[in-house]
Amino acid sequence: MGNCNCNCYTEKEIYADALAAQHAATNHYNTFMNECDHSHVREAFHKCLEQEHLIQEEVFESMHHKGYYPTPAAEMKKIDEVKQKFAQSAK
């Protein structure tokens, strides 16, 4: 095998694609589960959904650890705004 002369993806792009795929997979399994009429099939989809969430968490944690998905701390002002917003919508 020779050298790769193609435009290869960066590690960050591969991780981003994997995370997007996991988002799509969990979305689909959730939809299938919600629309399922048979309890055994619903349980099977639920197990798949749980597994996909675990994979998604692993991908996210790897991205975060490598600095590809930074999660800065929220400002207290923003936290208070969200609390007020949800407190009002709960009334």
Structure tokens at 4: 């790769």
Nearest Cα to 48, choosing from 56, 60, 59, 37? 56
Range of the domain at 18: 11-89
Say if 2 falls within a structural domain: no
pLDDT value of residue 13: 97
Please state the domain count of the chain. Answer: 1
In the chain, at which residue ranges do the beta strands (DSSP E only) sit? none
Profile the chain (91 residues) by mean pLDDT over runs of 10 residues.
72 97 96 93 95 97 96 90 87 72
pLDDT value of residue 7: 77
pLDDT value of residue 2: 54
Distance CA 77, CA 57 (A): 28
Say if 5 falls within a structural domain: no
pLDDT value of residue 66: 97
| Contact of 77 with 50, CB cutoff 8 Å | no
Sign of the dihedral defined by the CA atoms of residues 68, 69, 73, 77, in that order = positive
